[in-house]
Chains A and B, each alone.
Chain A
């Protein structure tokens, strides 16, 4: 089955701890994205990567870090510097080229920090 997997589905952490969210895709897509969604809100872009070993900040990158060492994987680390980390985190992927930027989403990770 082709698709995007995110793990874990639910994650609980204490304040002050860093936490890494996993995202893997087997769609052979070049681009991958991380979004955050808060209750009643739209999606806000955290980071995106259009090619291996390269990534760009999105609209709300502060307090987050990413790496893109493999085409299939784009892990997101939520650091202790992120002031309000509790949210629904969504990973997506797409092809790159000629304006066809249909993004497909994984099932998401719901992070709760107390």
Chain B
């Protein structure tokens, strides 16, 4: 069973702080990794993709990938109340175009 694991949270961080969201995956053959943001009642929105070990930065978001440890994370700098949402980690094992999703981590940014 290919699995993607996330802590369900809620993860509570004060406004302006760094939020760190973590994800582990079981399939060592995984090639592509994605972070989606989902607001309550809405559909997921792609915010980051990462394909090789290391860091990838896009604005306030940084994705980090460590294939040896089977670990991918998302850092959100200068967290804002509008960042409050559920963040879904998704992984592609490379055998087809389908993704396996984690259950998501709920982030709460407090004033």
Is the CB of B25 closer than 8 A to any CB of chain A? no
Question: When A and B form their complex, what is the total count of cross-chain residue pairs whose Cβ atoms lie within 8 Å?
Answer: 57
Of the four ranges (under 10, 10 to 19, 20 to 34, 35 or more), the interface on chain A belongs to 20 to 34
Q: Is the CB of A45 within 8 A of B44?
A: no
The contact string, 1 if C-beta is below 8 Å from chain A, for chain B 41-58, is 011111001010000000
CA distance A98 to B105 in the complex (A): 29
CA distance A74 to B62 in the complex (A): 34
* Minimum Cβ distance to chain B for residue A106 (Å): 6
Is the CB of A86 closer than 8 A to any CB of chain B? no
Given A42-B101, A42-B104, A94-B97, A105-B44 contact (CB < 8 Å): yes
Is the CB of B16 closer than 8 A to any CB of chain A? no
Chain B residues proximal to chain A, CB less than 8 Å: 4, 8, 31-32, 34, 42-46, 49, 51, 88, 90, 92, 94, 96-104
